[in-house]
A and B are shown apart, each in its own frame.
Chain A
């Protein structure tokens, strides 16, 4: 039987390989984009103002040198990996000379804050309610909840988001509809700012929870419903074990394993940012940054966000792989 250390080394090797392949693929894809960052910059400079064709030709050459686009592809590739290993993604071409790492560092906490909270809440609520619905199958309130979850689950996210915007932004204007906090508010760890951040996060979080809840709910209800008929559950009930204990310790604990995997993957995917959420709600984050980078042909920025995302997802899978044998020793022998 292989030792846990061997298992760990294998999984870590896989992690490094996935990251290496992922980053290389991203590098190839971003450099294959038909969007030329130099032309994007020139268009931004000239689309309204006065300029002369001769001046633009000179500017085009200057920008190619400034952005480091004149070297051979192999030189650019090696320079890229030299920077990556030091966590330096170079300057953003669309916000030159600001480093990409600064832009990501500014945006990432917003994404993590919103998505981690929403993901954990959705997962916890969905599983709790799904477990209850799978066990207490005759409860009307839980049946109603199941109908709502099933109805909401297939609705495209952007429709739910837009309905929430209209409901709470216009018809019943209780919540802010854009941004991460109020304009001109004093930023820092003070009550006003914290409440402002919370109020701005409510609608995007609610939209994510409403749409995400159904998946966890239905999954958990199905898992629970299967386990309810198992011999050991029937035996426990016949033996007079408390029903809450049966649900918590006998049913949900067994049903949770695949859900934990799903949670870890969802948490890893946080680093992608919630592109639609951030666009619809004007919420600051890496998703919005990624979209801006793609439109500007900003290789450095797109590569930076994609690399963080690849490492995030791969690390989540690695952590799950490492934790699984501790939860379920059978996995170690696989």
Chain B
């Protein structure tokens, strides 16, 4: 046989022997599970290095959002970032809201009876007390410090009552046990008390307090499958009805392009997030894919506020005139286009434009913002333009057509309300007021050096924010400032804590979303927590900025209850202080392009039915399970 013919035969035989059976075996993403009973969700943590670790109470040892916190764990309360199944506040393991004494040094919790762990043991107050005592005892456990600083003693007078005595007044102590993404999860006393060292215990296989139990998991950390409990009625989620999916599969689908392909192939029901371009592709090509908004801008606005954060310990940014000047050099429409391709929900104020915040803060403050005056040193200007959201919508309408809403309320919900007018002349006046000088085309600092600003961005790990930072740098450069993009990549977290930046694209504002109280982030902005230069700053006041008026306001919030109507007034006062001082330049909500495939499941949360946050790594997303119905 000629050489060529022999070679062809060998190659053909190899192809038949290896490729064809392998291709045949490739059919079906999930083996041995009914696809129409399985909800497949992305776990954005990716592939988990130590896959068999389920002890979430150890610091950062294993996965959190592999279904563990969404499907198997529970705690006292949840606050929904949107509207909630039956209201924003959910009593979960607690039967009612926390009961504080007059001076907030004692908190009593009434627990819900009839809740069971997946191994048949009843949940009681002993589990709560054990969780607190064990965490305090082991300082390397995740919530040890938070509990140790607050809890003086804990009493369990009966199986459904827990009384915390606190070391100092804390009107927000319950927040530690209230889910906003996560919270302190309750430990199964009957499991952990038999373990020698709770820090080194892997909790594998986990005993569940949620409506699902672990069914199977990948030793290589790519997927986890949870099965609905037979006794789902004996869980807190069960009080809302039977969860739809029999199985939940939390998977690592790979990089964004593969998430898009996987959903087009109906192998990924819920994408956590993709780049705007991926979203647009799915909107165009996958008829079964839906997102939070029916049309543009699609994404779910998380209660997180990306901003340009100044390092207030840097001499150049100590002047609010400089900070305001830099804000007035930004064209937010261009930033919206560059970052989210227009699919951004902008905010001029230091509160995310999402959940219940627009009705609590953005809308009532529109007139105040419209009338707000800024003294440039030469004149007074009114910098706010309440029509910028509308202008972004108008800009997008020629290319996006009917997908752009025309109702002003819908436009404000999708694109945000107003923002600051780009005003280079006023910016120049403010710079001069602060002692800066323009030499030729370049700005110089009061001591005669070129005004250089390094804007730190994260890089490819967060492309949308990186594009926003790059656009702002470009706009500042055009105005004569020596601005530079500084790509931090994996060092961002370390540099942010160390204050190693002039300005930074990140966020120091995170809120409950569904509740007006701002203490979730605002308490950390008190001057008592500002670290000296060169030492690590605790979250979240990355700008290392403080103000006596804000301190007084934070102290006032500490002395009122969580639901006290005064909290809203104080919250609005914070907004006004932040507008006057501009310690950070708020940009937009953190829009998450969560995309849901309706091929197998219907009933996903959307802007039209905002019963919860669809973003699947949030523990709050468990609400979705009881509303999902199999299609057909």
Contacts and interface: CB of A to CB of B under 8 A. Distances in A.
Tell me if chain B binds chain A. yes
Contact of A49 (B59, B180, B253, B261): B180
A288 B252 CA distance: 13
Interface size class of B (residues with CB under 8 A): 35 or more
Contact of B32 (A43, A54, A184): A184
Interface stretch (A17-25, A69-77, A147-155, A185-193): A185-193
Nearest to B147: A55
Contact of B491 (A34, A45, A52, A280): A34
Interface stretch (A80-88, A91-99, A319-327): A91-99
B219 interface: yes
Contacts of B291: none
B53 interface: yes
A281 interface: yes
A282 B252 contact: yes
B337 interface: no
Interface in A185-203: 185-187, 192, 195-196, 198-200, 202
A175 B541 CA distance: 48
A132 B5 CA distance: 13
B183 A50 contact: yes
Interface in B570-625: 618
A187 B216 CA distance: 11
A40 B488 CA distance: 14
B200 interface: yes
Of B21, B31, B183, B498, most buried by chain A (CB within 10 Å of CB) is: B31
Given A96-B60, A182-B30, A62 B145 contact: yes
Interface string A285-310: 00011001011110001000000000
A172 B253 CA distance: 19
A167 B618 CA distance: 34
Interface in A244-288: 244, 279-282, 284, 288
Of A103, A107, A183, most buried by chain B (CB within 10 Å of CB) is: A183
A333 interface: no
Given A46-B539, A110-B220, A40 B493 contact: yes
Interface string A29-49: 000011110011111111111
B578 to A, nearest CB: 19
A184 B216 CA distance: 7
Contact of A179 (B32, B222, B264, B490): B222
Contacts of A192: 25, 31
Interface size class of A (residues with CB under 8 A): 35 or more
Contacts of B140: 62-63, 66
A244 B3 contact: yes
Contacts of A34: 491, 494-495
B31 A288 contact: no
A173 B266 CA distance: 11
B538 A56 contact: yes
A211 to B, nearest CB: 19
A280 to B, nearest CB: 7
Of A49, A196, A282, A297, most buried by chain B (CB within 10 Å of CB) is: A49
Contact of A174 (B23, B46, B182): B23
A177 interface: yes
B258 A182 contact: no
B219 A187 contact: yes
B254 interface: yes
Interface in B349-378: none
Interface in B489-509: 490-491, 493-495, 497-498
A269 to B, nearest CB: 22
B253 A178 contact: yes
B49 A94 contact: yes
Contacts of A53: 524, 529, 538-539, 541
A284 B149 contact: no
B7 to A, nearest CB: 8
A50 B59 contact: no
Interface of B: 3-4, 7, 18-19, 21-26, 28-33, 46-47, 49-50, 53, 58-62, 139-140, 142-146, 148-149, 175-176, 178, 180-183, 199-200, 215-216, 218-223, 225, 249, 251-255, 257-258, 261-262, 264-265, 461, 490-491, 493-495, 497-498, 510, 520, 523-524, 529, 536, 538-541, 618
26 contacts: A35-B493, A43-B539, A45-B59, A50-B180, A58-B139, A59-B59, A66-B59, A95-B50, A96-B59, A97-B58, A98-B50, A177-B261, A178-B252, A183-B29, A183-B249, A184-B33, A184-B225, A196-B31, A198-B21, A202-B19, A279-B255, A282-B254, A284-B47, A292-B49, A295-B461, A296-B490
Interface of A: 33-36, 39-60, 62-63, 66, 92, 94-98, 102-103, 106-107, 110, 128, 132, 136, 139, 141, 162, 165-166, 169-170, 173-180, 182-187, 192, 195-196, 198-200, 202, 244, 279-282, 284, 288-289, 292, 294-297, 301
Given A50-B183, A54-B149, A178-B254, 15 more contacts: A39-B493, A46-B539, A48-B182, A49-B181, A56-B145, A56-B538, A56-B539, A62-B144, A95-B49, A96-B58, A96-B59, A103-B49, A180-B220, A196-B31, A199-B26
